[in-house]
Amino acid sequence: MKRNRIIISMLVVLLAAGMLFAGGAAESVYPDPEKNITIVVPHAAGGSTDLIFRTLAEEMKKVSGVNFLVTNITGAGSATGTNEVINSPADGYMFLGAGTHTTAATMQGLTNGYKELDYIAALNWDPFIIAVRNDKPWKTLEDLVNDAKSRPGKITLGNAGMGGATGVASVGLNLAMNKAFNVTPFNGGADLIASVLGGHCDVGIFSQSEVVANSASFRPLAILTEGHSSLPSLASVPNLAEAGYPTITVPGGSFRSIMVKKGTPETAKKWLADTAEKAFNSASFQKFMKDNGLIPVFSKLDAFAEYDKGIIADYEVILKEANLYKMTN
């Protein structure tokens, strides 16, 4: 009897251990439907980057049934939001609304950025446009440049932050124009828009989607891509070569992507990548991109990592020429 009681006791212990193990396994299944997944947008609400990721979040929620929340963490040219992701647990419940701003901020030494992040999905490009408020006197880019050169430092050329691609583009343009402009960084696209519309900044480098959203108030002077906008309303906007500046090479647009902290479980990364792909290919998100003139470039995981190598190589050249490159390894 005593031996039987010992055996029964051992079986009870083993059964309890098995139940605990099973419960732990159930808790480790990703994603937990009771948890939110946070998308950190490292720019202020209201800009093009914010709009893109809020639209994507809604679609990811629709295709997965999991709740995606967008939080805006601004500062240091996107580095503050990037560092929030880097300093958070690598559990798949927070990812970065990344892109060329991540590349630029990393190379300027503002954050460890892409050195401590893993690749989930590449999304799209948003072309850059030089624009002024429509009551300003400059009708063409040449008008603006000639005026700036006649009174150096008096005309403010705004960007969405020195840690982002518009910051790099504005510095590149200013160097090409013999430093005729007063280059002024703002706290994201929304802040730049408000400053130009409010008359506190003379001219800005905007994402095309920001120009579209403010078409009643902006006069576009030039698009920074080699070709032209795919949007009928902006198709006639000249590129730099057509505007009279064929030798100037600066970042032509803003790239958007999804990245997570290194060490995130492979199952979580694959689930996020697959969910992002379904959301990206949804009719609603495809229409959103078309309406805003975004250029789709979807890839995920290893294919995205390979794609980003080209962006990194291009930016190294640009930031070194602009004396902004501060990476040590």
- Domain with residue 199: its CATH number is 3.40.190.10
Query: Three-state SS string across the chain, please?
Result: CHHHHHHHHHHHHHHHHHHHHHHHHHHCCCCCCCCCEEEEECCCCCCHHHHHHHHHHHHHHHHHCCCEEEEECCCHHHHHHHHHHHCCCCCCCEEEEEEHHHHHHHHCCCCCHHHHEEEEEEEEEEEEEEEEECCCCCCCHHHHHHHHHHCCCCCEEEECCCCCHHHHHHHHHHHHCCCCCEEEECCCHHHHHHHHHCCCCCEEEEEHHHHHHCCCCEEEEEECCCCCCCCCCCCCCCECCCCCCCCCCCCCEEEEEEEEECCCCHHHHHHHHHHHHHHHCCHHHHHHHHHCCCEEEEEECHHHHHHHHHHHHHHHHHHHHCCCCCCCC
Per the structure, how many domains does the chain have?
A: 2
For 215, residues 6+ apart whose C-beta sits below 8 A from its C-beta are 233
- Asked if 86 and 62 sit in the same domain, the reply is yes
The answer to whether residues 234 and 130 touch, using CB atoms and an 8 Å cutoff, is no
- Asked if 122 and 271 sit in the same domain, the reply is yes
Last residue of a domain, one of 205, 223, 241: 223
- Asked if 132 and 212 sit in the same domain, the reply is yes
Per-residue pLDDT, 28 = 67
Assigned domain for 63 exists: yes
Q: What is the pLDDT of residues 274-321, one digit of tens each?
A: 999 999 999 999 999 999 999 999 999 999 999 999 999 989 988 887
Last residue of a domain, one of 202, 223, 244: 223
The answer to whether residues 108 and 325 touch, using CB atoms and an 8 Å cutoff, is yes
Q: Which of 48, 119, 71, 75 is nearest to 261 (CA)?
A: 119
Assigned domain for 163 exists: yes
- Asked if 141 and 219 sit in the same domain, the reply is yes
Bridge partner list, 38 = 69, 94
**Which residue numbers in the chain have pLDDT < 50?**
1-2, 6-27
Assigned domain for 89 exists: yes
Assigned domain for 32 exists: no
Query: Alpha-carbon distance 154 to 144, whole Å?
Result: 12
Assigned domain for 11 exists: no
- Asked if 153 and 107 sit in the same domain, the reply is no
- Asked if 212 and 134 sit in the same domain, the reply is yes
Give Cα separations from 264 to 79, 96, 105, 269 (angstroms).
20, 13, 22, 7
Q: Which two tokens stand for residue 264?
A: 């995130």
Assigned domain for 260 exists: yes
Assigned domain for 81 exists: yes
Last residue of a domain, one of 173, 205, 223: 223
Per-residue pLDDT, 5 = 52
Query: Which residues constitute the domain of residue 42?
Result: 37-126+254-321
- Asked if 183 and 161 sit in the same domain, the reply is yes
Amino acid residing at 94 = M
- Asked if 80 and 104 sit in the same domain, the reply is yes
- Asked if 106 and 56 sit in the same domain, the reply is yes
- Asked if 162 and 118 sit in the same domain, the reply is no
Per-residue pLDDT, 282 = 98
- Asked if 121 and 266 sit in the same domain, the reply is yes
The CATH number assigned to the domain holding 299 equals 3.40.190.150
Assigned domain for 232 exists: no
- Asked if 59 and 115 sit in the same domain, the reply is yes
